Amino acid sequence: MAALQPSWIAPLIQTDSRLGQGIKFSVSNSRAPGIHQIIYGNGHGFSTIVARRFQFDFNPPSWFRNHSATLKDGFGNAGAQVKVRIASGNAEHGNYALTAVLTHDFAPRGRQNGLLTSVYYPKLGAGRAFGRFNVQTMLDGTLPTGKIAAQGRSIDWNTTAQFHANPHVWLDLENNATFIHGGPWDGATQNFVTPAAFYVVRRKSWGPAHALLIFDAGMQIATTRFHENNHNLITEMRLGF
C-alpha cells in the first residue's frame, strides 16, 4: 500500500482516507457540567489490510470512568469498520486518496456507557498532499437502528490541515462539525477545533513499509455555544506494521 498511497499521518479524530494496519490505544479526558469522564480505548483498536482495496477494523469496548454522581463506570459499544480504497496515488502519482467507509457500533449489552442501540456510520473521505502540507476531509452520518427520539441522527463533517515539520514531527489542525437532526438536541450544531501533534519514532533508513511507533496528543476545543463537553484532551500510542 505504501506504493499506492500518500504518506501523511492519520488524523487524531477524523478517519484516515488511506488504508493501513496497526494497533491504536487512545485515552480521552473530557469535562462537562457535573461530569469528568475518562474513556480508555476511545473507540479504537486493531486494523488490518485484507486485500489491495479493503481494510477491516475491530474496536473492542472502551472503558468509561465517570467521575459523576449520576453516571456509573462501565464498558461502551464494540465496533467494526470496513474501508474501501476507491482511488489513490503516491507522491509520484497525484498524492491523493479517495475512500468509502462503513462503521458499525454493536448494540449494548449489560451496563452501558455510550450509545443506546447499534449504529451505522457511512462515510466518504478524500485527501490531497502538496509537498509537506496535506488537506483531508471526511463526510459521514450517524444512523442509529432504533430509539431515534432519544438519540437523534447527525451529519458530521471533519476537515484536517496537516504539516510535516521534520522527519519525526507532524502537526495538524482539525475542524470537527456535527449537525444534529432529531432527538433531544434537534437542530443544534456542535463544532470543535482540534490542534494536535505527532511524534514518529523511526530510523532514517526505515521506509514507509516499516513498523512505526507514534505518540500523539491533541485537544478538542468547542467553538459553538452548544457542546456536550469541552477541552477534551486525547492522547494516543500507535503501532503500525
- Residue 139's domain is classified under what CATH number? 2.40.160.40
* Mean pLDDT, rounded, of the chain: 91
Gap between the Cα atoms of 60 and 47, Å rounded: 12
Q: Does residue 17 fall inside a structural domain?
A: no
Q: Does residue 170 fall inside a structural domain?
A: yes
pLDDT of residue 35: 81
Q: Does residue 168 fall inside a structural domain?
A: yes
Interior angle at CA 23, CA 18 and CA 24, nearest 5 = 85
pLDDT of residue 53: 94
pLDDT digit string, tens, across residues 40-97:
999 899 999 998 899 999 999 999 888 877 778 888 889 999 999 999 999 999 999 9
β-bridge mates for residue 140, sequence order = 123, 156
Torsion of CA 222, 223, 225, 226, to 10 degrees: -50
Confidence check: pLDDT of 132 > 70: yes
Confidence check: pLDDT of 222 > 90: yes
Q: Does residue 33 fall inside a structural domain?
A: yes
If one counts the domains in the chain, the total is 1
Q: Does residue 4 fall inside a structural domain?
A: no
Q: Does residue 70 fall inside a structural domain?
A: yes
Using pLDDT thresholds of 50, 70 and 90, give the confidence band for residue 208: low
Q: Does residue 186 fall inside a structural domain?
A: yes
pTM, two decimal places: 0.90
One-letter amino acid identity for 177?
Answer: A
Q: Does residue 6 fall inside a structural domain?
A: no
Structural domain span for residue 232: 22-240
- Give yes or no for a contact between 59 and 39, defined as CB atoms under 8 angstroms apart: no
